[in-house]
């Protein structure tokens, strides 16, 4: 008898493990084969809360996991591509979609289990015989669906003998009769398995086998729905607040509804059983009803709910910015043009620090795909504009009388340098930032070689930035020469990178949707670098080291 009980337990655990693995295979196949398209589908479907909920539900029907949909939504929210209220609507729709999947499998699993060997065979053949990436993932999906149906049959078979197992029946009934205990047990089991689908199907199989009364299953179903929000919360635990707010809001909505419904759980499922005439169907109906009520009640309140989450989970406070405003434009120094010029040049050097900060935002956004890094770019560009205006107004107040020609020339050079820095800031804010957003929105990616090329060019630009302010202030000819030579280095690397890129494109290798974006980024960095390097030209011109033209003279026979 003990051996028989052990065999039942092994079959039950094996069936649950097979079910979880089947769900995972379907999820993996969909994400790998159609992940970017699914992500774009969710993003495009967030124009209103209703369409956002529908897109979340539809995505979950494909992914077979509301947790997976929640993670996609959290990722979009973290990168700033998904509004908070729309994000919560996606998660609420995902909950409803997951309950529909559970109902379909729970009520039709035994009837369509005959398809399981066909799906497994078709999945194996498709995966093994296909070379295409998406075809292989289609085979993985078919195989996963077959495993899920086979697991349901195994679980159903394993739970039949439990009808007469008085000890198991007693333990399960004891848990089910204690609403608080049932809520906790259902929530923890769901958290551990990462699947509300598997847990609801398991409860339905217990009810079908007679091991659990529908009334007792009610509180467990509420616990499962409560626990369904925990995997996404734990998965985003170490991420920024923008990624954690949506799962926490979804968990809070689930918890409030589950606790409110707990005292009436028995009455609710008895009413459902009376309506559908079957205990298993009543469990499925109550699970679907919970999530539909959740959508209907929480969707209109999505805005206030997310505002409350922002108050509970605020963004971390930032330290005071030492570069927020100019600090060295001292009016008392205006009596001495030389002193005032040094003050203005000091502020111009601080402008290069702001530009370097903006450039790093672009690098972070390009390498991580998180456009949240770009939020400060617009504000930093405004700071650069404010610096330019303040420096221009400050130097314009200098009296011209008694000013030496050398000082007047250096003032004009400083104003030109500041103007070039402002133009470089516009390139970052209006061009490079838009490229980074387009890369994130289009789910585009660069290969390792392309990423290394971009980072190498950025490093050259950063080196030019560091050198430019020193050249402007010191007017050192050797430093100015090195700065001018940096432009040649940049051009040489740029040509090498683009030549290799276009050769691959011409041969059919390396052609993808990210190719035009890659080229545009390089061109923008070229323009940015040119504005910075121009600080060297006035110094080299004064030293007689600047050629009048880069065009080679024409020979006589070319006239």
- On whether both 117 and 201 belong to a single domain, the answer is yes
Q: Is the pLDDT at 558 greater than 80, yes or no? A: no
pLDDT band at 548; cut points 50, 70, 90 = low
pLDDT in tens, 182-214: 888 888 888 887 778 778 877 887 787 777 777
Yes or no: say if 101 and 61 are a contact pair by the CB < 8 Å rule: yes
Give the mean model confidence (pLDDT) for residues 162-167: 57
Q: Is the pLDDT at 559 greater than 50, yes or no? A: no
Q: Is the pLDDT at 21 greater than 90, yes or no? A: no
Q: What angle do CA 71, 77, 83 make, to 5 degrees?
A: 130
Give the mean model confidence (pLDDT) for residues 170-191: 79
Q: Is the pLDDT at 550 greater than 60, yes or no? A: no
- Whole-angstrom CA distances from 236 to 222, 249, 362 are 23, 13, 24
Q: What is the DSSP letter of 97?
A: H
Yes or no: say if 72 and 38 are a contact pair by the CB < 8 Å rule: yes
- On whether both 465 and 431 belong to a single domain, the answer is yes
Q: With respect to residue 325, please indicate whether it lies within any of the assigned structural domains.
A: no
Q: What is the mean pLDDT of the chain?
A: 83
Q: With respect to residue 432, please indicate whether it lies within any of the assigned structural domains.
A: yes
More reliable by pLDDT, 8 or 147: 147
- On whether both 341 and 379 belong to a single domain, the answer is yes
Q: What angle do CA 519, 498, 448 make, to 5 degrees?
A: 75
Q: Give CA torsion, residues 63, 69, 72, 74, to 10 deg.
A: -170
Look at the alpha carbons of 428, 429, 430, 434 in this order and tell me if their dihedral is positive or negative.
positive
Q: With respect to residue 524, please indicate whether it lies within any of the assigned structural domains.
A: yes
More reliable by pLDDT, 43 or 545: 545
Give the mean model confidence (pLDDT) for residues 518-541: 92
Q: Is the pLDDT at 4 greater than 60, yes or no? A: no
pLDDT of 202: 79
Q: Which of 282, 312, 342 is the last residue of a domain?
A: 312
Q: Give CA torsion, residues 502, 505, 511, 513, to 10 deg.
A: 40
Give the mean model confidence (pLDDT) for residues 490-506: 87
Q: How far is CA 383 from the centre of its chain?
A: 28
More reliable by pLDDT, 417 or 243: 417
Number of domains present in the structure of the chain: 2
Closest residue by Cα to residue 201 from 459, 209, 540: 209
Yes or no: say if 287 and 66 are a contact pair by the CB < 8 Å rule: no
Q: Which two tokens stand for residue 526?
A: 């070229």
Yes or no: say if 99 and 288 are a contact pair by the CB < 8 Å rule: yes
Yes or no: say if 260 and 62 are a contact pair by the CB < 8 Å rule: no
More reliable by pLDDT, 229 or 4: 229
- On whether both 144 and 220 belong to a single domain, the answer is yes
Q: With respect to residue 355, please indicate whether it lies within any of the assigned structural domains.
A: yes
- Residue 234 structural domain: 2-312
pLDDT band at 555; cut points 50, 70, 90 = very low
Q: pLDDT > 90: what percent of the chain?
A: 25
- On whether both 276 and 385 belong to a single domain, the answer is no
pLDDT in tens, 332-346: 888 888 899 999 999
Q: How many CA atoms lie within 13 A of 445 on its CB side?
A: 5
Poorest-pLDDT segment among 286-300, 388-402, 477-491, 510-524:
510-524
Dist. CA 187–CA 181, nearest whole Å? 10
- On whether both 186 and 84 belong to a single domain, the answer is yes
Q: Is the pLDDT at 422 greater than 90, yes or no? A: yes
pLDDT of 416: 93
| H/E run at residue 398 | none
Three-state helix/strand/coil letters over 24-80: HHHHHHHHHHHHHHHHHHHHHCCCCHHHHHHHHHHHHHHHCCHHHHHHHHHHHHHCC
182 contacts: CB under 8 Å, gap ≥ 6: 175, 176, 216, 219, 220, 222, 223
pLDDT in tens, 343-370: 999 999 999 999 999 999 999 988 888 8
- On whether both 26 and 73 belong to a single domain, the answer is yes
Q: With respect to residue 131, please indicate whether it lies within any of the assigned structural domains.
A: yes
More reliable by pLDDT, 201 or 128: 128
- On whether both 52 and 125 belong to a single domain, the answer is yes
pLDDT band at 97; cut points 50, 70, 90 = confident
pLDDT of 319: 61
Q: Is the pLDDT at 129 greater than 80, yes or no? A: yes
pLDDT in tens, 436-490: 988 887 778 888 888 999 999 999 999 999 899 889 888 899 999 999 998 889 9
- On whether both 303 and 394 belong to a single domain, the answer is no
Q: Which two tokens stand for residue 417?
A: 């340098």
Give the mean model confidence (pLDDT) for residues 78-87: 76
pLDDT of 557: 43
Dist. CA 398–CA 418, nearest whole Å? 17
Q: With respect to residue 22, please indicate whether it lies within any of the assigned structural domains.
A: yes
Closest residue by Cα to residue 358 from 485, 525, 205: 525
Runs of H (alpha helix) within 299-336? 302-312
Q: Which two tokens stand for residue 147?
A: 């495993």
Give the mean model confidence (pLDDT) for residues 249-278: 81
- On whether both 66 and 171 belong to a single domain, the answer is yes
CATH of the domain at 393: 1.20.58.220
Q: With respect to residue 557, please indicate whether it lies within any of the assigned structural domains.
A: no
- On whether both 264 and 337 belong to a single domain, the answer is no
Q: With respect to residue 556, please indicate whether it lies within any of the assigned structural domains.
A: no
More reliable by pLDDT, 527 or 216: 527
pLDDT band at 556; cut points 50, 70, 90 = very low
Poorest-pLDDT segment among 167-181, 356-370, 419-433, 450-464:
167-181
- On whether both 450 and 301 belong to a single domain, the answer is no
More reliable by pLDDT, 549 or 128: 128
């Amino acid at each position: 008898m003990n051996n028989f009980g052990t065999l039942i337990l092994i079959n039950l655990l094996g069936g649950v493990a097979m079910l979880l693995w089947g769900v995972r295979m379907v999820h993996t196949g969909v994400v790998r084969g159609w992940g970017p398209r699914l992500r774009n589908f969710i993003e495009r479907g967030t124009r209103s809360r209703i369409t956002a909920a529908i897109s979340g539900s539809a995505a979950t029907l494909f992914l077979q996991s509301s947790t997976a949909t929640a993670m996609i939504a959290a990722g979009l929210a973290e990168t700033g591509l998904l509004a908070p209220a729309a994000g919560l609507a996606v998660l609420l729709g995902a909950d409803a979609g997951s309950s529909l999947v559970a109902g379909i499998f729970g009520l039709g699993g035994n009837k369509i289990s005959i398809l399981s060997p066909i799906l497994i065979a078709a999945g194996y053949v498709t995966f093994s015989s296909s070379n295409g990436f998406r075809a292989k993932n289609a085979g993985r999906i078919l195989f996963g669906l077959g495993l899920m149906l086979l697991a349901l049959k195994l679980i159903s078979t394993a739970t039949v003998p439990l009808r007469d197992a008085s000890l198991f029946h007693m333990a399960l009934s004891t848990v089910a009769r204690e609403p608080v205990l049932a809520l906790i047990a259902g929530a923890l089991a769901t958290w551990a398995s990462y699947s509300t689908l598997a847990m609801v199907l398991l409860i339905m199989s217990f009810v079908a086998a007679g091991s659990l009364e529908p009334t007792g299953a009610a509180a467990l179903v509420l616990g499962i729905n409560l626990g369904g929000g925990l995997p996404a919360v734990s998965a985003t635990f170490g991420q920024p607040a923008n990624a954690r707010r949506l799962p926490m809001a979804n968990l809070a909505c689930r918890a409030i509804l589950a606790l409110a419904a707990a005292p009436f759980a028995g009455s609710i499922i008895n009413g459902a059983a009376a309506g559908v005439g079957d205990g298993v169907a009543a469990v499925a109906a109550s699970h679907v009803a919970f999530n539909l009520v959740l959508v209907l009640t929480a969707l209109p309140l999505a805005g206030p709910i997310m505002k409350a989450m922002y108050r509970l989970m605020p963004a971390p406070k930032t330290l005071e910015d030492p570069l927020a405003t100019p600090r060295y434009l001292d009016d008392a120094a205006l009596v001495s043009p030389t002193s005032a010029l040094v003050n203005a040049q000091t502020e111009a050097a601080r402008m290069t620090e702001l530009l370097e900060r903006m450039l790093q935002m672009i690098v972070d956004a390009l390498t991580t795909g998180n456009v949240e890094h770009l939020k400060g770019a617009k504000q930093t560009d405004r700071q650069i504009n404010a610096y330019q205006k303040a420096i221009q107004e400050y130097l314009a107040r200098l009296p011209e009388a008694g000013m030496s020609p050398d000082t007047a020339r250096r003032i004009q050079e400083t104003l030109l340098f500041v103007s070039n820095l402002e133009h470089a800031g516009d390139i970052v804010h209006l061009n490079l930032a838009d490229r980074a957003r387009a890369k994130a929105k289009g789910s585009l990616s660069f290969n390792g070689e392309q990423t290394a090329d971009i980072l190498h060019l950025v490093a050259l630009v950063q080196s030019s930035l560091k050198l430019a302010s020193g050249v402007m202030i010191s007017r050192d000819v050797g430093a100015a020469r090195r700065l001018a030579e940096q432009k040649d280095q940049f051009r040489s690397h740029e040509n090498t990178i683009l030549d290799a890129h276009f050769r691959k494109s011409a041969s059919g290798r390396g052609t993808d949707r990210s190719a035009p974006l890659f080229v545009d980024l390089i061109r923008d960095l070229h323009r940015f670098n040119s504005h910075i390097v121009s600080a060297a030209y006035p110094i080299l011109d004064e030293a007689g080291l600047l050629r009048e033209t880069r065009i080679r003279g024409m020979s006589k026979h070319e006239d």
